[in-house]
Amino acid sequence: MQDRTSPALDVALAYFEAWTSKDMGSAMAYVADDVVCDAPAGRIEGADAYRAFLGPFTEILVEARLIAAFGDAETALVMYDTRTRPVDDAPAAECVTVRDGRIVASRFIFDRAPFDAARAAASAAH
Amino acid sequence: MQDRTSPALDVALAYFEAWTSKDMGSAMAYVADDVVCDAPAGRIEGADAYRAFLGPFTEILVEARLIAAFGDAETALVMYDTRTRPVDDAPAAECVTVRDGRIVASRFIFDRAPFDAARAAASAAH
């Protein structure tokens, strides 16, 4: 299902394997210092901000499973399911641009609604 | 950027072209009668339910632009941006399984949060 001749996909999959294993050090080795990520809540610029975005997610991550992954020389597109502590079924998709073995740009899509609902329910319970 | 030897991608792109042109008749010709679509709000089963899900979205659609699209024999993965009347920037990703020229399964991801917020704002204004 994957084109193994895609260097961008190789990077995207290595990055996926690292962050879903909660190995933030290895994950960030695939992220460029000047990465630009367009995520549901807005634009994230730079590796420090990106790590501050991804790190907390890995802390609530229970498991992740790849749904599909494709790529070419510079672009990779992946879709995966995650199970998280607040939300049982939280799929996401990422389109990454890779240069010199690192992700320089990312478009990231997931549904914030169930996370917002879980947060509201937790607040109401306190 | 696209593998033109992918029959699943050909179907996914023809389907994308049709529904983003608001041509529901042509779009539904690429959707199997027994399609199963896992969308943010839950599972949609059958072409009638699928049309009832997609049709209203095409009515609020202003424009759509493909971000990336890849596929192989049976699977295609697409990501696109949409601009809609209630939400300016509403990207989505779809992973479709294609058999005999029709989409039999779909995994659909978008962020419901800005649509929920737009709906709440519209309600508050009335």
Tens digit of pLDDT for each residue in B65-108?
Answer: 999 999 999 999 999 999 999 999 999 999 999 999 999 999 99
For A14-54, the pLDDT digits (tens) are: 999 999 999 999 999 999 999 999 999 999 999 999 999 99
Q: Which of A4-13, A46-55, A64-73, B108-117 has the lowest mean pLDDT?
A: A4-13
Angle between helices B7-20 and B47-60 (to 10 degrees): 50
Tell me the DSSP string of A54-90. Answer: HHHHHHHEEEEEEEEEEE-SSEEEEEEEEEESS-S--
Do B109 and A113 make contact, defined as CB atoms within 8 angstroms?
no
Name, in order, each residue with C-beta under 8 angstroms of B19's C-beta and a sequence gap of 6 or more.
B27, B54, B58
What is residue A5's predicted lDDT score, i.e. its pLDDT? Answer: 80
Quick check: A83 and A89 in contact, CB under 8 A?
yes
Name, in order, each residue with C-beta under 8 angstroms of B80's C-beta and a sequence gap of 6 or more.
B16, B20, B64, B65, B66, B67, B91, B92, B93
Residue keyed to tokens 């501050």: A52
The pTM of the full predicted model, rounded to 2 decimals, is 0.94
HSE of A41, CA atoms in CB hemisphere, 13 A? 10
Query: Is pLDDT above 50 for B1?
Result: no
For A80-94, the pLDDT digits (tens) are: 999 999 999 999 999
Do B109 and A110 make contact, defined as CB atoms within 8 angstroms?
yes
Chain B, 47 to 76: residues with Cβ < 8 Å from chain A are: 67-72, 75
Quick check: A1 and A68 in contact, CB under 8 A?
yes
Measured CA to CA, the distance from residue A110 to residue A40 in angstroms comes to 7
Chain B contact probe: residue of A4, A37, A43, A70 with most B CBs at under 10 A: A70
Name, in order, each residue with C-beta under 8 angstroms of B50's C-beta and a sequence gap of 6 or more.
B28, B31, B35, B37, B44
